[in-house]
Amino acid sequence: MCPFGREASGMQPATNDRPSKVPEITFGFWILKIAATTLGETGGDAVSMSLGLGYLVGTCIFACLFVAFVIAQVRAAKLQPWLYWATIVATTTVGTTLADFADRSLGLGYPGGASLLLVLLLASLVTWRGVMGSVSVNTVVSARAEWFYWVTVMLSQTLGTALGDWTADTQGLGYLASAMIFGVILLVVAVAYFLTAVPRTVLFWIAFIVTRPLGAVVGDFLDKPLDHGGLAFSRFTASAVLLAVMALGIWLLPQRPANAAPAA
């Protein structure tokens, strides 16, 4: 059974009047999401590879940052865009190093790692749906819902890293071709949003997952050597530029709670 069943039938679980701690899902949201996922790839690789700390140490560092940011996000009284996007970046960096640790250090390989992460992600969504009654971002108004949201986000970011690496490296498609593939998938999701009756919550999570491998392959394209199909930019330089782009976007793009807009 689809974990979005009640919402798919047009019935929304009852919520209180508190604003969501997730920004309204707009075009600007997706621009920032892709920038954050690309930053997560370059930043994660900078710590684990450029600094030579390894995937396990890098994962421990970013996991601590992830937990710290989630606690701060949960304790915040309302949506704070700077804190929200810092937490998103924390999920992408820990997702990068965790996926690489599972795939390369533990030897699961990209298909095995992606399969395991997909099962964990679906389990998180089903459990969240069963406990809270909805996985819509409009309902992320309580501490329990936020923890479900952030665990699901972290798993989706880790899965996306494995998918991006599997497509670009294992399948030999390269970074640009892989980026085009994930871009086309996002375009299909956008068309479905405007022209079909597919529940928007379902489309949101598909798009949320797919933007991660898109960011992963773009990040790899920026910092991988020329003989590997990349542009050979410094990981630290690429990360700094992406961080500046994100900061400018957060400052310029208006953001309000997701449930501040009329429900679709």
Number of Cβ within 10 Å of residue 205's Cβ equals 21
d(C-alpha 180, C-alpha 148), whole Å: 31
Range 218-251 burial, b when 16+ CB lie within 10 A, else e: bbbbbbbeeeebbeebebeebbebbbebbeebbe
pTM of the predicted structure, to 2 decimals: 0.87
Domain that holds residue 114: 21-258
* Residue 263 counted as domain residue: no
d(C-alpha 57, C-alpha 65), whole Å: 13
Confidence check: pLDDT of 82 > 50: yes
* Residue 172 counted as domain residue: yes
* Residue 5 counted as domain residue: no
* Residue 95 counted as domain residue: yes
Q: Count up the domains in the chain and report the number.
A: 1
Helices (H), 13-171: 27-45, 54-75, 81-100, 109-132, 143-165
Which pLDDT score is estimated for 262? 47
* Residue 83 counted as domain residue: yes
152-192 per-position pLDDT tens digit: 999 999 998 888 888 887 777 888 888 999 999 999 999 99
2-60 per-position pLDDT tens digit: 443 333 333 344 445 678 899 999 999 999 999 999 999 899 989 998 899 999 999 99
4, two tokens: 């979005």
* Residue 9 counted as domain residue: no
* Residue 127 counted as domain residue: yes
* Residue 91 counted as domain residue: yes
